[in-house]
Structure 1
Amino acid sequence: MATEYLSEKHLRGFDKYKYNAKDTSPLSIYVMHPFWNSVVKIFPDWFAPNLMTFLGFLILVLSFILLSLADWSYYASSRTYPQHPPVSNLVFLIIGVGLFVAHTLDGIDGKQARRTNSSSPLGELFDHGSDSVISCLLPIGVYSIFGRDEKDYGANILLLYLIVCVISATFYISHWEKYLTGVMFLPWAYDFSQLALVVIYIITSIFGYEIWKGTYAFGFEFRYLFVLTTMGGSVVLSLPNTIWNIYVSYRDGTGKNRSFFHAVEPAIPAVLLFVVASLWAFLSPTDILQLEPRIFCLTVGIIMSNICCHLIISQMTETRAKCFNWLLVPLMIVATLSVSTNLGSLELYLLYCLAAVALILHFHYACSVVVQLADHFNIYVFSLEKRSPKAARVSNGTK
Structure 2
Amino acid sequence: VPNGVWVIVGLLNFIAYTLDGVDGKQARRTNSSTPLGELFDHGLDSWACVYFVVTVYSTFGRGSTGVSVFVLYLLLWVVLFSFILSHWEKYNTGILFLPWGYDISQVTISVVYIVTAIVGVEAWYAPFLFNFLYRDLFTAMIIACALTVTLPMSLYNFYKAYKNNTLKHHSVYEIMLPLVSPVLLFLLCTAWIFVSPTDILEVHPRLFYFMVGTAFANISCQLIVCQMSSTRCQPLNWMLLPIAVVLFVVTSGFAPTSETLLLYVLTAFLTLAHIHYGVVVVSQLSRHFNIRPFSLKK
**TM-score under structure 1 length normalisation:** 0.73
How is 1:119-138 mapped onto 2 (pairs within 5 angstroms)? 119-138=33-52
Q: Could you say which residue in structure 1 is the equivalent of 2:252?
A: 340
Match of 1:314 in 2: 226
Contiguous gaps of at least 5 residues in structure 1: 1-86, 387-399
What amino acid is the match of 1:164? L
Q: SS at the partner of 1:326?
A: coil
Q: Tell me if 1:110 matches 2:32.
A: no
Tell me what 2:194 maps to.
Answer: 282
- Partners of 1:200 and 1:342 in 2: how far apart? 45
Q: Distance in 2 between matches of 1:343 and 1:119?
A: 50
Q: Among 298, 301, 304, which residue is 2:216 paired with?
A: 304
- Mapping 1:351-366, distance limit 5 Å: 351-366=263-278
Q: Any conservation in 2 of the 1:250–1:257 contact (CA below 8 Å)?
A: no
SS for the counterpart of 1:195 is helix
Please say if 1:349 is aligned against 2:261: yes
**C-alpha distance in 1, partners of 2:170/2:279?**
31
**Does 2:114 align with 1:202?**
yes
141, 145, 167: which one pairs with 1:255? 167
> Whole-Å Cα distance in 2 between the matches of residues 174 and 124 of structure 1?
14
Paired amino acid for 1:327? M
Instruction: Report SS of the residue matched to 2:67.
Output: coil
| Counterpart AA for 2:77 | C
User: Cα distance, 1:232 vs. partner?
Assistant: 1.8
What SS is found at the alignment partner of 1:184? coil
Quote the residue 2:13 is aligned against: 99
Give 2:42's aligned amino acid.
Answer: H
| Residue in 2 that maps onto 1:156 | 68
Q: Which structure 2 segments of 5+ residues have no match? A: none
Q: 1:231 deviation in Å?
A: 2.1
1:352-395: CA deviation from partner (whole Å, max 9, x where unpaired): 00000110001100111011101111111011123xxxxxxxxx
Q: Distance in 1 between matches of 2:234 and 2:80?
A: 18
Q: Deviations over 1:231-285 (max 9, x none)?
A: 2212321101111111121122122142111111111111110000001011111
The CA deviation string for residues 86-109 of structure 1, in whole angstroms up to 9 with x for no partner, is: x22222111111000101111111
Moved over 3 A (4+): 342-345
Aligned to 2:4: 90
CA distance in 2: counterparts of 1:174 and 1:110, whole angstroms? 17
State whether structure 2 residue 291 is matched by structure 1 residue 379.
yes
Q: Distance in 2 between matches of 1:330 and 1:121?
A: 30
* Matched ranges for 1:233-248 at <5 A: 233-248=145-160
TM-score by length of 2: 0.97
The 5-angstrom pairing of residues 171-250 of structure 1 reads 171-250=83-162
In 2, distance between residues paired with 1:244 and 1:264?
Answer: 16
Flag the structure with larger Rg: 1
Residues 4-48 of structure 1, C-alpha deviations (whole Å, 9 max, x = no match): xxxxxxxxxxxxxxxxxxxxxxxxxxxxxxxxxxxxxxxxxxxxx
| 1:310 aligned counterpart, secondary structure | helix
Deviations 1:114-141 (A, max 9, x none): 1111111111111110101011111111
AA matched with 2:149: L
Displacement of 1:219 in angstroms is 3.0
| In 2, Cα distance between equivalents of 1:252 and 1:218 | 49
Letter aligned with residue 124 of structure 2: W
**In structure 2, C-alpha distance between the alignment counterparts of 1:320 and 1:177, rounded to whole Å:** 14
Q: Secondary structure at the match of 1:266?
A: helix
Question: How many angstroms apart in 1 are the aligned matches of 2:34 and 2:138?
Answer: 37
State how far apart, in whole Å, the 2-side matches of 1:213 and 1:174 are: 34
Counting aligned pairs with the same residue, the percent is: 46
Code of the residue aligned with 2:147 in structure 1: it is: V
Choose which of 229, 241, 248 in structure 2 pairs with 1:329. 241
* Higher fraction of helix: 2
Whole-Å separation in 2 of the counterparts to 1:276 and 1:131: 23
1:218: Cα distance to partner? Answer: 4.5
In terms of mean alpha carbon deviation, does 163-172 or 252-261 score higher? 252-261
Match of 2:54 among 124, 137, 140: 140
